[in-house]
Amino acid sequence: MNLIVAVDEQWGIGKEGELLRRISTDMKRFRGITSGNVLILGRKTLESFPNKKPLPNREHVVLTNNLEYKAEGVTLCHSIAELPHVLEGFGDKEVFVAGGGSVYQQLLPFCEKAYITKIHATFPADTYFPDLDQLPEWEIAEEGEEQEENGVRFSFVLYRKK
């Protein structure tokens, strides 16, 4: 499985249940990479989506400990141990870990590639992604040109497990 995330210069990813910045070029890229595939996300990230609904054209596997939890149009999963069994149901679709902080943390060891949007700024944050530059098993495979949207500079960086 792979993961996809937008981080700031401190590897911050969110604050008070929201993204740090909405960058439409990044959203479009997220859609392009993940459409037709499977997302794994935490219950809090699902609830941060517009109307708390899953995104179109993607399967969603949502982690929650709450056995009573109900959400339309998603597949619920109640532990990491249960995840391989749940994913079997999606055949050979690509699987992307899509957050939030707690889910990235737990599933990073199982990921091969990390599609990172690096935002060249620092924002107040309460949720962080592990700093891949400090983890010896990860290396940069591709680094895109810097881009700018509404005064926010960012670049797309692909990390790969060595």
Ligand X SMILES: NC(=O)c1ccc[n+]([C@@H]2O[C@H](COP(=O)([O-])OP(=O)(O)OC[C@H]3O[C@@H](n4cnc5c(N)ncnc54)[C@H](OP(=O)(O)O)[C@@H]3O)[C@@H](O)[C@H]2O)c1
What are the CB-based long-range contacts (under 8 Å, 24+) for 29-35? Answer: 29/117, 29/156, 30/4, 31/55, 33/4, 33/96, 33/115, 34/4, 34/58, 34/96, 34/98
Residue closer to ligand X by CB (options 14, 54) is 14
Residue closer to ligand X by CB (options 48, 75) is 48
Task: Give the nearest distance from C-beta 29 to ligand X in angstroms.
Answer: 11
3-state secondary structure (DSSP) of residue 119? strand
List contacts with ligand X (CB under 6 A): 5-6, 13-15, 17-19, 41-45, 48, 63-66, 69, 78-80, 98-103, 106, 127
For residue 91, say if its preceding peptide bond is cis, omega within 30 degrees of 0: no
Task: Give the nearest distance from C-beta 81 to ligand X in angstroms.
Answer: 8
Residue nearest to ligand X (CB): 100
Residue closer to ligand X by CB (options 15, 93) is 15
- What gap in Å lies between CA 73 and CA 58, rounded to an integer? 10
Residue closer to ligand X by CB (options 17, 89) is 17
- What gap in Å lies between CA 117 and CA 94, rounded to an integer? 19
Closest CA to 119 of 2, 28, 29, 10: 10
Task: Give the nearest distance from C-beta 117 to ligand X in angstroms.
Answer: 7
What tokens does 3 get? 């993961």
- What gap in Å lies between CA 10 and CA 120, rounded to an integer? 10
Residue closer to ligand X by CB (options 91, 124) is 124
Task: Give the nearest distance from C-beta 93 to ligand X in angstroms.
Answer: 20
Task: Give the nearest distance from C-beta 51 to ligand X in angstroms.
Answer: 15
